[in-house]
Amino acid sequence: MQKINLKSDVDINKVLRDLAKNPYFKEFPISEDNLNECLLFLSEKENCINCAGLDKCKNHQPGYMLKMNGDKFLLVRCSKKVAEDLKNSQSELIHTLYMPKSIKEANFSDFTLNTPARAKAMKLANDFVNGYGKEKFIKGLFLTGGFGCGKTYLLGATAAELAKKNIKSLLIYFPDLIRELKNSLGSERFEEIVNNLKEIDVLMLDDFGSETMTPWLRDEILGPILNYRLAEGKALFISSNLTAEQIINHLMLSNDSIEKTKATRIVSRILGLTEFFNLGKEQYKK
């Protein structure tokens, strides 16, 4: 603990008498044994009253302060430190791959609600957050719309709200995920990624449809993940520039009936896990 240095000519008894008059010590036993703690308590109390933020904390242990407990002091977190720790613990519940910082810091309060579509999308996302865990299974969203219309931001904001309820989510930029899977094929990293895609509470695939579709991706990766999540009742969110009809064409690698069946099967899994919603074409920053 930090030592309060008193001048050599200071009258200790006078210091003790002055402390005894302080309202903070009205019912607290003061003695030479705890004099240093009492002085440190007052010093740090003053720091906290004039607090300019955790990054400028002047206390001996930033974010912590002495608190009276019976006849002794305890070192406890201040309210700002508690809030920061809570935010950090919540952010640990949001797993992201290949996503920009702005999306990791997204929140509902900054999502622009100046069109009926955006207000409706926000309501659907909020309903999901509020309903998660109260029902055995609740559908996520398949957000479609033009480039820059706010699909990705809403996914990030939804993940942040879920974290407040201690619900884990994984938000991934889908094209980069596919490159990662190809590069790690046959390794433990590959198995780790696929298992996480299956098991995470809420999976969010961003920019689905902009990747190059292959039989391996569709039939060996995407299909089994969607099947697993549907069977286990695990939620899914997707953002895409493609409509439902365009998704079928994207998943078909030729025009024969077998390809159409395979593509339709994937779309049926997506429909079982998500509700399609079009955010429109207008661009927004958030």
139 Cβ partners below 8 Å, 6+ apart?
128, 235, 273, 274, 275
266 with 150, same domain: the answer is: yes
State residue 82's pLDDT score. 73
**Domain final residue, candidates 27, 49, 83:** 83
Domain annotation covers residue 137: yes
Q: pLDDT tens string for the chain (286 positions)?
A: 566 666 565 778 888 888 888 888 888 888 888 888 888 888 888 888 888 888 888 888 888 888 888 888 888 888 887 777 666 555 555 677 668 778 888 989 999 888 899 999 999 999 999 999 887 889 999 999 988 888 999 999 999 899 888 888 999 999 999 998 999 998 888 998 999 999 999 999 999 999 989 999 999 999 999 999 999 999 999 999 998 789 999 999 888 999 999 999 999 999 999 999 999 887 776 6
Domain annotation covers residue 141: yes
**Domain final residue, candidates 63, 83, 103:** 83
110 with 241, same domain: the answer is: yes
104 with 242, same domain: the answer is: yes
Cα→Cα distances 175→172, 180, 186, Å: 9, 9, 19
State residue 87's pLDDT score. 62
**Domain final residue, candidates 64, 83, 102:** 83
Name the residue range of residue 145's domain.
92-278
What distance in Å separates the CA atoms of residue 163 and residue 169, rounded to the nearest whole number? 8
Q: State which amino acid sits at residue 43.
A: S
State residue 1's pLDDT score. 58
70 with 118, same domain: the answer is: no
Burial string for 208-223 (b: 16+ CB within 10 Å, else e) reads bbebebeeebbeebbb
pTM of the model: 0.69
Domain annotation covers residue 284: no
- Can you give the CATH number for the domain in which 245 is found? 3.40.50.300
159 with 258, same domain: the answer is: yes
20 with 133, same domain: the answer is: no
74 with 97, same domain: the answer is: no
Domain annotation covers residue 4: no
64 with 205, same domain: the answer is: no
Domain annotation covers residue 285: no
First CA to last CA across the chain, in angstroms? 47
Domain annotation covers residue 5: no
40 with 176, same domain: the answer is: no
Q: Which residues pair with 240 in a beta bridge?
A: 144
76 with 102, same domain: the answer is: no
CA angle 235, 236, 237 (to 5 degrees): 135
147 with 43, same domain: the answer is: no
Domain annotation covers residue 7: no
Say which residue the tokens 């009492």 belong to.
38
Domain annotation covers residue 286: no
The domain tally of the chain equals 2
Answer whether 218's CB lies under 8 Å from 188's CB: no
State residue 103's pLDDT score. 86
36 with 122, same domain: the answer is: no
